Amino acid sequence: MRPYVAILKDSFREAMASRVLWVMLVIITLLLVLLAPLGLDEQPGTVLQAPDLRDSASLVRKLAAAGRSERPSPARQVWKLLPQELQTRIQEAAPAEGEDAGERIYDYELRTALNRVLRSRELYDAAAWSEVPLSSEVQRQLDGGLGGLPLAQVARLNRLLLEAAFPEEIRPAAGEELQISYLGLPLGSPLPGKREPIVQASLLVLMELLLGTVGIMAAIVVTAGIVPQTFEQGSIDLLLSKPVGRWAVFVTKVFGGCTFTLINVGYMVGGLWLLCGVRYGWWNHRLLWCIPLFLFSFAIYYAVSALSGVVWRHAIVCVVMTFLFWLACTLVGVTKQVVEFWFLNQTRVVNVLRAGEDYVRVSEGREIARWDSAGQTWQPILENPDEPAVAFGPPGPRIAGPLYDPRRELLVALVPPRFQFGSGGPGTALTVGKRAEGFKRLEGANVPSGTAALFYDDQGRFLAVNAEGIHRLEGDVLQKTQRPNIFGIPLPLAEDQRGFRRVSPPLDLTPPVYAAQDVRTGRMAVADARHLLVLSPEADGEYTVRARREGKDGESGLVALGGRWLLSASAKGVIRVLDAETLEPLASFEPEGGETPRSLAATADGRHFAVLFHNGRLWLYEPPQDSERAEGRLYQPDVADRGDVTAVSFPDEHTMLIGHGFGNVSAYRLEQLVRLETLRPSHGTLFLIYRWGIRPLYRIFPKPGELDNLTQYVLTGETTVAVGGPQNGDDLTAGRLKLDIWQPLWSNLAFVAVMLLLGSLYVQVKDF
């Protein structure tokens, strides 16, 4: 054993004597020193974001009126601080009575100007705000004067002043924002969000770049000559003159060659861990697991370099062979990811329903289609000829619906444009199709801005839910609005909402908003990340709030309502069972250990609830129906493609529909969970190539690049990553990519073992 320990010690001494090692340590030290003065200060929200403007048109009209008046008012104070060019355009956009309207002021322009106003110490004037009710906290700060307040507190105070003066136009700030500074000097405007997620995302990028591709390739270049030098004439003769095994010398030398990476990675990761803890108070011990992870990632490439070293005994050949190995692994991995993400995943079902005798599904690629049993395929319906056809790529904003009206045999959906300008504005029209016309697309009424869910009430009237409340369509859903477009992309309108009237109190929620309906009673559950409300319809058709529950940010989310029960799912995967009347919590469970939920569904009688997670796992919950059973039943049903379920719904109280795999839909009878039928569309040539060529090759090939997934899991604890794009924000229903965590680990371990075995056999039989 002593000779092998001596070889390991020599490896450490060689690494410590290496000038390259000391250069790398100096570079890492400089990087840590440069990062140390970086400040990340959390503060209450001040910056106006896109959802914060409730009614930009109304605000423009008030500012224009203030510009024509000398009377002191909050609008007049804002007006005086706006640039002259914007003042002129506002007067043209909101003219006085009898004048012609000019160009439109877009939300982005208005928000940019208002965010500059928020940082002004001249906004507040006692006479201007004399008629505006202010909170005691704001009044105390005003009494103390603005002269001595830091700029961040001035911005926060001005934001509160604007919210008090324009409650119908500006939403109260939600959450926190992050001010980035360096050496105490602020860098730009604050960013929305909290410190921990931003630090976590930055560390993940740093790990994947500096310690991943760049760091490993640099380490390979430095260590490429260790094994060839060991088996040169003279060096190997001296070693073999001692009582040691050839294969053991080779394996020990490989492990000794990893010391260079161990020292660098340990120093950098340990320094980052200490910096995050001391500087930002974020002691994430998961970060230290990156040391063995990146050491293992290096060992995969170094095993190829070591085998090349004993065969050709030349450092340059080792580097070239390692590069070719990296290139081959990258090509196989990228090919699989491109085919899956950009093409096949677009066929996955995200919503499925019955429209009379037809099955209708919505795909990840935002295609609405009807099942053609004769051709065994999904036939697209409700197609929009004005929207650019995109056959692949990340999805756009989620589709609300579709809903089927059996009385009129209409299919209705809200399909936001794939490419949106700003927040979209009011002006997105409903997509309507008549069964008698083969669900050919018709343009319906415009919905309220930010509509998140669609429903019918007990009289067949159309309902739309957004952050402001519940809105009802007073006219016909087929009433059409002409909209301008540029190159086929519809533009939003700043007109009225074409017949929709709010029939609930203002809810003042923060997008994304989730809603569910009890079809038997007409009750509605509406929630955002913090608030949960239950509203009931009255005899006059208006909705009143029956129960309200407010928790911590991220405690609420998806909702499902049925019978006496309400289920709420948070972003952290906590499912809460509440009383639908009082919102009193009755039970909670976390079946997937922190995974992000994708959808909730309930039967009309409330006897079955479905919880679907982004990792493809489906759970069913049966609430207690009698006094003999105090607790409900939570279980994972035995369904097709278990672990790869993408959608779930209940068309009636006895049937469950699930989407699974690439475009498949199965129907089950709930009582015995018996499969009734499965719709399997025929796939094209690309799917056959993927199934019989790309996927088998990927399984047998080593996957060093896929260890980034394990790194992300170690740092965040999540096995899925959002792919919906910025337009979806924090929407829990937006598409997420499922990460393969453990399979690459085992395949890479097997590859390293095989390479070491081949190297050991070669040195054992080779006559050096």
Three-state DSSP string of 530-545: CEEEEEEECCCCCEEE
Cis amide bond preceding 597, omega within 30: no
Using an 8 Å Cβ cutoff, are 394 and 725 in contact?
yes
Return the pLDDT at 726: 42
Stretch 737-760: mean pLDDT: 90
Q: 641: left (phi > 0), else alpha (psi -120 to 50), else beta?
A: left
State which amino acid sits at residue 403.
Answer: L
Return the pLDDT at 758: 94
pLDDT in tens, 181-207: 888 888 877 777 777 777 888 888 887
pLDDT band (50, 70, 90) for residue 586: very high
Helix, strand, or coil (residue 642): coil
Whether 269 shows a pLDDT value over 50: the answer reads yes
Stretch 632-656: mean pLDDT: 94
Whether 101 shows a pLDDT value over 50: the answer reads no
% of the chain residues with pLDDT over 70? 87
- CA of 613: how far to CAs of 415, 513, 603, 639, in Å? 23, 18, 18, 15
Return the pLDDT at 508: 81
pLDDT in tens, 657-686: 999 999 999 999 998 899 999 999 988 898
pLDDT in tens, 26-43: 988 999 999 999 888 887
Return the pLDDT at 100: 44
Mean pLDDT, the chain, whole residue set: 84
Stretch 461-482: mean pLDDT: 84
Burial 709-718 (b: 16+ CB within 10 A, else e): bbbbbbbbeb
Which position has the higher pLDDT, 51 or 485?
Answer: 51
Return the pLDDT at 456: 92
Whether 568 shows a pLDDT value over 90: the answer reads yes
Return the pLDDT at 559: 96
Return the pLDDT at 639: 94
Distance, in Å, from the CA atom of 290 to the CA atom of 211, rounded to the nearest integer, reads 9
Lowest mean pLDDT among 15-29, 358-372, 498-512: 15-29
Q: In this structure, what token pair is assigned to residue 22?
A: 């000391």
pLDDT in tens, 226-242: 888 777 665 655 555 55
Return the pLDDT at 386: 66
| Residues contacting residue 357 through CB under 8 Å, at least 6 positions apart | none
Distance from the Cα of residue 456 to its chain's centroid: 29
DSSP at 232:
S
Distance, in Å, from the CA atom of 740 to the CA atom of 204, rounded to the nearest integer, reads 17
Torsion sign over Cα 191, 45, 283, 720: negative
Residue 304, number of CB atoms within 10 A of its CB = 24
Return the pLDDT at 156: 85
Return the pLDDT at 395: 59
Residue 225: phi and psi, rounded to 5, are -90, -5
The DSSP H or E segment spanning 277 is helix 259-280
Smallest Cα–Cα separation from 73: which of 109, 117, 138, 123?
123
Smallest Cα–Cα separation from 653: which of 605, 723, 690?
605
DSSP at 287:
G
Return the pLDDT at 509: 86
Lowest mean pLDDT among 112-116, 187-191, 732-736: 187-191
Hey, where are the domains in the chain? Answer: 2-35+196-341+696-717+737-765, 44-192, 373-503, 510-661
User: What's the CATH number for 510-661?
Assistant: 2.130.10.10
Residue 48, number of CB atoms within 10 A of its CB = 22
| Residues contacting residue 162 through CB under 8 Å, at least 6 positions apart | 74, 78, 114, 118, 170
Return the pLDDT at 498: 47
| Residues contacting residue 108 through CB under 8 Å, at least 6 positions apart | 50, 422
pLDDT band (50, 70, 90) for residue 328: very high
Helix, strand, or coil (residue 443): strand
% of the chain residues with pLDDT over 90? 37
Whether 388 shows a pLDDT value over 60: the answer reads no
pLDDT in tens, 611-624: 999 999 999 999 98
Per DSSP, helices labelled H in 104-174 are 107-118, 136-144, 151-165
Stretch 741-764: mean pLDDT: 90
pLDDT band (50, 70, 90) for residue 464: very high
Long-range contacts of 171-176 (CB under 8 A, 24+ apart): 171/51, 171/52, 171/53, 171/54, 171/467, 171/508, 171/510, 172/508, 173/44, 173/45, 173/46, 173/52, 174/45, 174/510, 174/530, 175/45, 175/510, 175/553, 176/42, 176/43, 176/44, 176/45
